[in-house]
Amino acid sequence: MRVYLLLIWTWTRAAARYPTSFALMTVAGTVTAGLEVAAIWIVFSNTTTLGGFDVSEVMFLYGTAGLPFSVADLLFSNTDRISQHIKAGTFDAMLVRPVGTFVQIAADRFTPHRAGRVLQAAIVLGVALARLDVPASRAWMIPVMVACGIVIFTSIWALGGALQFLLTDAPEVTNAFTYGGGTLTQYPLTVYGADLVRGVTYVLPLAFVNWQPGLYVLGRADPMGLPYALRFLSPAAAAALAVVAAFAWRAGVRRYRSTGS
Amino acid sequence: MIDADRIGRSFRIRGATVHAVRDLSFHVAAGEFVGCLGPNGAGKSTTIKMLTGILAPTSGRVAVAGLDPTRRRTAVAREIGVVFGQRTTLWWDLPLRDSFELVRLLYKVDRARFRERLGELTERLRLGEFLATPVRQLSLGQRMRGDIAAALLHDPSLLVLDEPTIGLDVVSKAEVRAFLRDLNTERGTTVLLTTHDVGDVERLCRRVILIDHGRLAFDGTVDELRATVPGETSIEDVVAHLYLNSSALRTRPPRPGEDSPTATA
Amino acid sequence: MPPFHRRFLTQPPLLSLYAQLVRYGFRKHATYWGAAAAGAFTNTVFGVLRAYVLIALWRARPGLGGYDITDAVTFCFLTQAYIGPMQVFGGGLEVAQRIRTGDIALDLVRPAPLLLWSLAQDLGRAGYLFLARSLPPTVAGALLLGIVLPGDAAVWAAFAASFALGIVISFGWRYIVAMATCWLRDDRGLTVVSLVLTTFFSGLTLPLVIFPEPLGTIAGALPWAAMVQVPADVYLGKADVPGALAFQAMWAAVLLSLGALLTRAARRKVVIDGG
């Protein structure tokens, strides 16, 4: 972790040497993310509720999905470049360094310009909380769910990276899970089909990013009627997924070293 | 320093098994300077990858600095420096100085030792004039000197170089060679390099390993190598002779007492 | 008659040149079938996610914007199907890369106009990506959630024309963006602006029919609507076909003319002024 922080700091200083380019990318990233908010605004200019949730609640869910997603995106999404590293041969160079490959890839060419998205999600969450008036007795869950969300999204990026050891020629597949996961969690899960919700509860635990703990914060009954205890299980789900992701990553690296692709 | 015990590496290519390296055994003691020769596709790079932990051998055992590079990858990485002549391990967009800073962090070299070592390397490899230049703008010779410096910042006991002089002009080549020789004699760093340039062998290596068709075809001193082909005096001609007759080498079983190139295999 | 002239008369070289370029564009992209399959998979996943959001919206507001739920789902999968052939997220042209490397100078002195040269290659690319990246998400959408299938052959014919015009318009826009890099030091800003305009104002993010006024009307008159929204409306039978095609043809003509002007200016800059 210390090595990772030192590495991204070095890359940040390198990026700061081109301030205009950096500012431009930051603005561009923030504007792109702003479009998602514009989309929510357009949806709610046509309706007052979506999937049984009003605009403040949807903004709350958007914020509690967007904040961990954008943090994970900022810090670890470089792992989806693994197939580029494999094809360019730079992965070999990483294997002769005495640091874990995940840390090296995540830190490689780090730029902080995606930080604009973190800020944007935090603002949406702040606005939602100001409108919702959540009691302090339930608000404690918010930092917990953001932390668990970061772990869950980071694990999905690691799983996507591990998948690229197999699908080196089709790295775009992982976008369906990483960015797809980010998109899915932006809206209340009631809008999706029941099978999809079961899938993201029991298989790929995206429901534990903001849906289950979010129901607790919002003080709402589960529209799908799933057990009440699920809303406190985010830490367990995050830990389990992180373990799976760590094994998958190791298996991917081992496969690379035994096939020499 | 290096113990390769009957190592082999096969690949499955479209259903067929290709043996890139088989039954390769050799030992390199600390302080040696060993050159590894062999025609294109002979298995030199595969061997280097197995020694450095990039590839796992499919058979046999390797130990580098007493450790298994497959299982103890990061521990081995701290002991060795690796240079690929064909591609850089530096970062294209960054000035050389920043690449070195990243290497420092990766190898956890403390700042004082790093500064001292970098000062030394900068002087010996004349890096000063292009430390602030992004790697992609460096000439091949400058880049190679930068790569060698990066591989030595953590002061490894073994330096492995895969074709370090490829594509270099005569002056750069001479500089790289002089540096490597001094590194070996003054600091006692063990050096293993692969090359197609017999000049590297003649001027640097006390010992030569020749790999052909994935097998060890010769292991001995440069003089012994020269003696394998009676009548030839230049190493270039000897090596050419050996490559051309390599299939004969491979198929002829070594006879006891004969001065055969495979006698030490 | 010298053989060269005879060949010239029997085989119009221009036509065969462009046909060859279309084939080249098709074949070049066909080698990246793994990437295309991955793209089709991702387009399908996003199609399903977006479709569910639209279903929820249309459940709350039946008949919104003149669409029913199936229309909205169909719209969603059609727009996902456009992403590959129309390269909605930008790029896809060799020109941009060649400007960056300076090789564009060689292209500009060729006797064949660069605009047509690039268009031919892009049509080949679009043809391949239509097969590889448009059909799978559409079929998946039809199987998973059900989409409208027009019964009238005239609608299919109109849609084919409208879709083809959409590809030409998308090419015209991307060509302009690529050419603009001749005058910009850092083209990434423009790339992002283009991405934002194209995804938001084309109807890819949400159908333009539900945009609040006057945003909806303004968006509907812009070239990006002619890429995504208009062909979808033609498919759904929601558009006045001659008017829709005329609107698209107008934007295609405007963008291609602008592209030709930029090419002339670029030639002056690169070839005559030496970069």
* Averaged pLDDT of chain A: 91
Strand partners, B5: B61
Q: Please tell me the total count of domains within chain C.
A: 1
Cβ of A187 within 8 Å of Cβ of C53? The answer is yes
Q: Is C123 among the domain residues? A: yes
A and C: number of Cβ contacts within 8 A: 94
Q: Is B203 among the domain residues? A: yes
pLDDT tens digits along B75-115: 999 999 999 988 888 988 889 999 999 999 999 999 999 99
A62 CB within 8 Å of a chain C CB: no
Q: In this predicted structure, what is the pLDDT of residue B264?
A: 34
C186 CB within 8 Å of a chain A CB: yes
A192 CB within 8 Å of a chain C CB: yes
Q: Is B259 among the domain residues? A: no
Q: Is B216 among the domain residues? A: yes
* Chain A residue whose CA is closest to C40: A173
Q: Is B27 among the domain residues? A: yes
pLDDT tier at A26, thresholds 50, 70, 90: confident
Q: Is B167 among the domain residues? A: yes
For chains B and C, having 3+ Cβ pairs within 8 Å is answered no
Q: Please tell me the total count of domains within chain B.
A: 1
- Could you tell me which of C160, C156, C233 has the C-alpha nearest to residue C202? C233
pLDDT tier at B248, thresholds 50, 70, 90: very low
Which structural domain range is residue C211 located in? 16-272
Interstrand relation of A53-54 and A49-50 (parallel, antiparallel or unpaired)? antiparallel
The phi and psi torsions of A98 (rounded to 5 degrees) equal: -85, 40
Whether the per-residue pLDDT at B52 is higher than 90: the answer is: yes
Q: In this predicted structure, what is the pLDDT of residue C12?
A: 55
Give exposure, C137-158, as e/b (b: 16+ Cβ within 10 Å): bbebbeeebebbeeeeeebeeb
Q: Is C1 among the domain residues? A: no
* Averaged pLDDT of chain B: 87
Cβ of A175 within 8 Å of Cβ of C42? The answer is yes
Whether the per-residue pLDDT at A209 is higher than 90: the answer is: yes
C268 DSSP 8-state letter: I
Cβ of A258 within 8 Å of Cβ of B56? The answer is yes
Cβ of C55 within 8 Å of Cβ of A167? The answer is no
Q: In this predicted structure, what is the pLDDT of residue C5?
A: 46
pTM > 0.95: no
Q: Is C3 among the domain residues? A: no
* Chain A residue whose CA is closest to B79: A98
For chains B and A, having 3+ Cβ pairs within 8 Å is answered yes
Q: What is the DSSP track for B214-253?
A: TEEEEEEEHHHHHHTSTT--SHHHHHHHHHHTHHHHHHSP
Which structural domain range is residue B136 located in? 2-251
Contact of C260 with C113, CB cutoff 8 Å: yes
pLDDT tier at B257, thresholds 50, 70, 90: very low
Q: In this predicted structure, what is the pLDDT of residue A201?
A: 92
Tokens (6 digits) for B69: 């590079």
A203 CB within 8 Å of a chain C CB: no
Could you tell me the residue ranges of all domains in chain A? 2-259
Cβ of A43 within 8 Å of Cβ of C39? The answer is no
Cβ of C38 within 8 Å of Cβ of A173? The answer is yes
Query: Interior CA angle at C199 toward C229 and C208, to 5°?
Result: 35
Q: Is B159 among the domain residues? A: yes
Whole-angstrom Cα distance, residue A133 to residue A217? 10
Nearest CB neighbour to C52, from listed A25, A172, A192: A192
Computed on alpha carbons and rounded to an integer, the radius of gyration of chain C in Å comes to 20
Whether the per-residue pLDDT at B252 is higher than 80: the answer is: no
Cβ of A24 within 8 Å of Cβ of C52? The answer is no
Polymer length in residues for chain B: 265
Whole-angstrom Cα distance, residue B92 to residue C7? 50
**Chain C stretch 236-255, residues whose beta carbon is closer than 8 A to a beta carbon of chain A:** none
Q: Is B101 among the domain residues? A: yes
Q: In this predicted structure, what is the pLDDT of residue B247?
A: 54
Q: In this predicted structure, what is the pLDDT of residue B127?
A: 93
Q: In this predicted structure, what is the pLDDT of residue B256?
A: 42
- Could you tell me which of A106, A101, A94 has the C-alpha nearest to residue A5? A106
Q: Which residues of C touch A51 (CB under 8 A)?
A: 56
pLDDT tier at A25, thresholds 50, 70, 90: confident
Whole-angstrom Cα distance, residue C225 to residue C202? 4
Cβ of B55 within 8 Å of Cβ of A258? The answer is yes
Whole-angstrom Cα distance, residue C159 to residue C163? 6
Whether the per-residue pLDDT at A100 is higher than 90: the answer is: yes
The list of chain C residues with pLDDT below 50 reads: 1-10
pLDDT tens digits along B177-209: 999 999 999 999 999 999 988 888 888 998 999
Q: What is the DSSP track for B77-124?
A: HHHEEEEESSS-SS-TTSBHHHHHHHHHHHTT--HHHHHHHHHHHHHH
What CATH number is attached to the domain comprising B217?
Answer: 3.40.50.300
Q: Is B119 among the domain residues? A: yes
